[in-house]
Chains A and B, each alone.
Chain A
Amino acid sequence: AQSVAQPEDQVNVAEGNPLTVKCTYSVSGNPYLFWYVQYPNRGLQFLLKYITGDNLVKGSYGFEAEFNKSQTSFHLKKPSALVSDSALYFCAVRGEDSSYKLIFGSGTRLLVRP
C-alpha cells in the first residue's frame, strides 16, 4: 500500500535562512506527489505538485520541491524563509493503483523565528 513519511514533527529556522521540509514516499508505479500548507483553523491549501517532467518543481509563495526517484523523496524547500511561512505542511501521494486515493503524511510544523 502507498504511504508517506514526514520524519520531522517540527522544523525551526531563522527568518532569511533556507528551509527544507522532508518527505519520503512508498508507492508502486509512477508517483503523483503534492505539498499542502495549513494555517491555524483553516483548511489545506495547495502549494505544488510533481506529476512528470522536471524533478525541480516550483510552486506558490516561493516554495519549490525536488523529486528524487532513487531516494523516493520529495522535499519541500525555500531559499529564504519568512515568519509568515510558519504553518503546518503536509506531503501527499496519489494511490498506486490509480484509485484516486490521496494519502497524506503526518505533517511537519514549520516555525520561522524573526
Chain B
Amino acid sequence: NAGVTQTPKFQVLKTGQSMTLQCAQDMNHNSMYWYRQDPGMGLRLIYYSASEGTTDKGEVPNGYNVSRLNKREFSLRLESAAPSQTSVYFCASRKKDNTEAFFGQGTRLTVV
C-alpha cells in the first residue's frame, strides 16, 4: 500500500517564487494535515482538513494556502516563498478523531 504520498521530495526555491506541495492518500481517510518540522520546534500544524470540503487554520498558517481537492488529495501552496519557510513539510491523514495519523515521507524545502 502506498499510504500517504508527498511530492516533490526536495525543492529549492528563490525568494518570491511560488509552488504547490502535493499530498495524496489511498486509505480513504477523512482528515488530512500539513505540518512543518523545524529543529527544536517539533511539528507545527499549518492547516488541516477535517473532512472533504473543509479546511481550517492550524498554529502557523501565515504565508500558506491549502486546497482539499477531493477526499484523496490535500495540497499546500506557497504564493511567495520566504527564507523563513525553509523547512521539512509533512502531510498526514487519519480516518477518525480517535485514530492514529499516517505520515508521508516529507518534502525538504529550501528557500534562498
Which residues of A come within 8 Å of B, CB atoms?
Answer: 6, 9, 32, 34, 36, 41-46, 49, 51, 90, 92, 94, 98-107
Contact = CB atoms under 8 A, between A and B. Distances in A.
Contacts of A51: 98
A102 to B, nearest CB: 6
Interface residues of B, dominant DSSP: strand
A1 B41 CA distance: 18
Interface string B78-111: 0000000000001010100110111111100000
Interface residues of B, number: 27
A105 B45 contact: no
Contacts of A99: 50, 56
Given A51-B98, A100-B31, A43 B45 contact: no
Contacts of B74: none
13 contacts: A32-B97, A43-B90, A43-B103, A44-B92, A92-B101, A99-B56, A101-B58, A102-B45, A102-B94, A102-B101, A103-B59, A106-B41, A106-B42
A33 to B, nearest CB: 11
